[in-house]
Amino acid sequence: MKIIEVPGDKALQELTRLLAKKAVTGLHPVWFGGNSDITFIAEGRSRVKNPKTSITKSMKMNIDEMIADFYSPDSNDGEPREEEPAEEAWVLEEEQETGDELEEGSEEEAGEESGEESEVTDGDDELDLYCSRKPPHTVHIGLLDIDEPWQMFAHLGWGGSDSDFQCALHRRWQEEWGAEVIVLQESIIECRVLRPPQTRKDAMRLAREQYFYCGDIVSQGTGSVLELADALLDCTSWFFWWD
C-alpha cells in the first residue's frame, strides 16, 4: 500500500481525482486522515497475518441470518418493536401512490419516481464527505492494490477479529448499491454510493441494515430508523461513526 500526503484544503479534490483514475491505476484511494489516524491504520495493518483467510471467512457469513437475529423479538439489541407500524405505513404510502399512478396510465412517470436506478459515473458527482469539512493540516490518502474495495478491512485489519464481518457486510452493500468505502478512520467510515435506493421499500430495508451495523447513527443521529431511511433515498454518500 502506498500512502501519500496532501494539504488538507486540497485533499477532497485529490481524492476525487484518484477515484476517477482508479480504472486506469487499479488502485483504490482511501482517506485515512491526520497523523493519529494513520498511526491507528498502521497498528491495525501490523496485526494482519493473512488477509485471504478473513476474506474467505467473510464469503461464508450469513448476513441475512445475523440481521434477522438482531431484530428478533427475543433479542434485546433490536429496535423497539413499536416503531414498526410507522415504518410500514411510510413504505405503504408510496406503494399506494405508485399504484394509483399506474391505474391512471402514468406508467412512465411512475418509473421515473420509483423504478430504475441509475449509476453515477466515477468522478462526475462532487463528493460530500463529513471528514472534509474540517480536515487536518495534512491528510494521508492510502492507495490500495486490492481486487474490491470491501476487501480493505481484511488487508488493514480494521475491526480486529471482526474484519471478516466488515468484509461481508460491505461486500453486500457494494454489490447491491455500489457502495465503496473511501474514508476509513478509527471510529468513522464514509462511503460513496453509485446506486442509492430509489424507493421507500428499499431505503427502509437498507436503513434497518445500517442500524444493525451502526446503532449510533440512529441513537445519536437521525433519532429513528424511519428518519434514516428517508435520508438514504437517492443519497450518494453514507456516514458511520461509533462513539
Q: What are phi and psi of 28, to 5 degrees?
A: -95, 120
In sequence order, which residues have a C-beta less than 8 Å from that of residue 7 and are 6 or more positions away? 137, 138, 139
Alpha-carbon radius of gyration of the chain: 19
Of the pLDDT bands very low, low, confident and very high (cuts 50, 70, 90), residue 122 is: very low
- E strand or H helix at 204: helix 200-213
CA-CA distances (angstroms) from residue 155 to 60, 145, 159, 160? 18, 10, 11, 11
State the Cα–Cα distance between residues 178 and 201, nearest whole angstrom: 18
> Which residues of 169-228 form beta strands (DSSP E)?
179-184, 188-193
What's the number of domains the chain is made of? 1
Residue 238 pairs in a beta bridge with 191
Its domain, for residue 82, covers 2-241
Q: What is the pLDDT of residues 1-47, one digit of tens each?
A: 999 999 999 999 999 999 999 999 999 999 999 999 999 999 999 99
Task: Write the Ramachandran bin of 152: left for phi over 0, alpha for psi from -120 to 50, otherwise beta.
Answer: alpha
Q: What is the pLDDT of residues 208-230, one digit of tens each?
A: 999 999 999 999 999 999 999 99
Instruction: Report the residue count for the chain.
Output: 243
**How much is the pTM?**
0.85
